[in-house]
Amino acid sequence: MAYQNNIPQPTDALSQSQSDILNNFAAIQTLIDVNHVDFASADQGKHKFVTFPVQGAAPAINAGEIGLYNALSTKTAKDELYLINSTGGTVPLTESQQVAGSPGWAYLPSGVLLKWGNSSATGLSTITFPAGATIPAFSNIFTIILTTAYVNASDGDGFVRLNNFLAPWTQFTVYGSHRTSTGAFGPVGFQFLAIGN
């Protein structure tokens, strides 16, 4: 039987309301048994774990509060966990495309966006970030880190350096050169990690 409000009524005899009161206690116990420790536990009032049903949209919260909710991501097509910060902004906490290899992207809980990948350069080369409906775009880029990478066992004598990255933050330029002499060289394989929001 479901929980009943206003039990007992002022005119009810205890014997008349006893079954309703017992049903209400049973309903409360059923509620507590979902993800909570038991009443009799030393940890009473605490959660064992927290689950979030899927929301159709970000729920409204009061000013100054912080909220967590679960929603279907338009980027990953999976249920993801989101944070509503105290200013009402929504930050994806679990939304990412972590592919074995390259490229990939992920959000940090602070809202920082990471993108990584593998590429190559011969002299001055422009590298364009993957784009699309399921890949977030940078609003700003804070830094890009490059690492020269050769798959062969011998020294490739190549080096790659960052040339620049500018708005609209869709690409960056690098320069692939000899490591031991001057001049363009390539292709020089490298890995990148771009950090922004």
Q: Does residue 25 have a pLDDT over 80? A: yes
Nearest Cα neighbor of 173 from 129, 113, 132 is 129
Q: How far apart are CA 116 and CA 129, in angstroms?
A: 9
pLDDT at 152: 63
Q: Could you tell me the residue ranges of all domains in the chain?
A: 1-49, 54-92, 96-196
Query: Which range is least confidently modeled, 36-40, 127-131, 143-147, 182-186?
Result: 182-186
Average pLDDT over residues 172-190: 87
Distances (CA, A) of 147 to 66, 144, 153, 159, 194: 38, 10, 16, 9, 12
Q: Which CATH number fits domain 96-196: 3.40.1280.10, 3.90.850.10, 2.40.50.100, 2.60.40.3940?
A: 2.60.40.3940
The CA distance from 197 to 194, in Å, is 10
Q: How does residue 85 score in pLDDT terms, banded at 50, 70 and 90?
A: confident
Residue 185 CA to residue 123 CA, distance in Å, equals 6
**Lowest mean pLDDT across 10-19, 47-56, 149-158:** 149-158
* Residue 62 exposed, middle or buried by CB count within 10 Å (0-12, 13-18, 19+): exposed
- Please give the Cα distance from 184 to 62 (Å, whole number): 58
Taking alpha carbons only, the member of 41, 43, 2, 6 closest to residue 25 is 2
Q: What is the mean pLDDT of residues 54-74?
A: 92
Residue 54 has pLDDT above 90, yes or no: yes
State pLDDT tens for residues 102-130: 788 998 888 899 999 999 999 999 999 98
Single-letter amino acid code for the residue at 108: L
Average pLDDT over every residue of 78-84? 92
* pLDDT of 31 strictly over 90: no
Q: What is the mean pLDDT of the segment spanning 74-96?
A: 89
Residues contacting residue 193 through CB under 8 Å, at least 6 positions apart: 114, 115, 116, 144, 145
